[in-house]
Amino acid sequence: MTEVALPQVTGQLDALRARLRELGSVLVCYSGGIDSAFVLAVATEELGERAVGMTAVSPSLPQSEKDDASRIALALGATHRFVDSNELARDAYVKNGPDRCFHCKTELYSIARDKAREWQLAAIVNGTNTDDLGDYRPGLEAAREAGVVSPLLDAGMNKAAVRAAAQAIGMEIWDKPAAACLSSRIPYGTSVTRERLAQIGAFEAELRALGFRQVRVRWHDSIARIELDLSELERLLNPELRAAALEAGKRQGFRYVTLDLGGYRTGSHNEVLVGRSLPLIT
């Protein structure tokens, strides 16, 4: 983890606390990842039951992340509710163009608006941090259009600062690996289906059961392209583990199982996009 100066983190954490108090009551769009979990933790400390974590459940949410969301919220003493999301009913989402995330987040924030009214909460907040501004993320536009507040951006916090602050307030998951929806494993232009999402999720679960911590299975029809943290690449070359991973991939319906020597990186399917970027949100 990149080192972050403690005084800087302390100041940012104070700013985050003040921003959440200013909002009065919040619905936290909470995936179970470290960013939204950290926001939920601080919001719960500052607002108590006036902070509610909402987790949208759909075929694109890995079962492990759903389980983590429940477990983490319980440990935080946070109010947490699951809701059903139906992004697969949106044709533009299923078509899986480069703007897929926009349609996914539009569905999420539409649900959040309805629930915020039902639960009488003043604001909808997410876990976007300043590092998220450096990649192609159409979901940020959906947040802007929906009037969603990004308190980590308001506090000037990047991913390293979030992890450092989470550790400082005693969150055991401060170093939890980054996660993303299963649809992000499918190349742009290839339809998102329940079957493909289930195939990807099942193979990733088997790889995690083999002890791999940071893993992505990128779907390329009959080919599975595995991304691992660089520190874990050599481990997969162990004959027994290699054979087990290959067998797992075949069991999940892949004809070929490959290892990406570039290792894990966020948004690797974005590497085929030329000139895609988002302006900073002000």
- What's the distance, CA 276 to chain centroid? 21
Indicate the DSSP class of residue 189.
T
Give me the residue spans of the domains in the chain.
6-168, 182-265
Q: Which residue has the higher pLDDT, 268 or 98?
A: 98
Structure tokens at 73: 């919220």
Order of strands across the sheet with 215-220? 215-220, 223-228, 256-259
In which band, very low, low, confident or very high, does the pLDDT at 4 lie, cut at 50, 70 and 90? Answer: low
Structure tokens at 8: 């800087």
How many other CB atoms sit within 10 Å of the CB of residue 21? 11
> Is-above-0.75 flag for pTM?
yes
Q: Which tens digits make up the pLDDT trace of 114-171? A: 999 999 999 999 999 999 997 678 999 999 999 999 999 999 999 999 999 999 999 9
Is the confidence at residue 63, as pLDDT, over 70? yes
Collapsed DSSP state (helix, strand, coil) of residue 26: strand
Mean pLDDT over the full length of the chain: 93
Q: Which residue has the higher pLDDT, 276 or 270?
A: 270
Q: Which contacts (CB < 8 Å, 24+ apart) does range 248-254 have?
A: 248/203, 248/206, 248/207, 248/210, 249/203, 249/224, 251/206, 252/199, 252/202, 252/203, 252/206, 252/224, 253/199, 254/199, 254/203, 254/222, 254/223, 254/224
In which band, very low, low, confident or very high, does the pLDDT at 265 lie, cut at 50, 70 and 90? Answer: confident
Q: Residue 226 and residue 200: Cα distance in Å, rounded? A: 10
Contact of 208 with 217, CB cutoff 8 Å: no
Q: Which contacts (CB < 8 Å, 24+ apart) does range 237-246 have?
A: 241/210, 244/210, 245/206, 245/207, 245/210
Is the confidence at residue 1, as pLDDT, over 90? no
Q: Residue 270 and residue 41: Cα distance in Å, rounded? A: 31
* Superfamily in which the 6-168 domain is placed by CATH: HUPs (3.40.50.620)
204, exposed or middle or buried, with CB in 10 Å at 0-12, 13-18, 19+?
A: buried
Q: Residue 75 and residue 135: Cα distance in Å, rounded? A: 32
Do the domains spanning 6-168 and 182-265 agree at the CATH topology level? Answer: no
* Range 182-265: architecture per CATH: 2-Layer Sandwich (3.30)
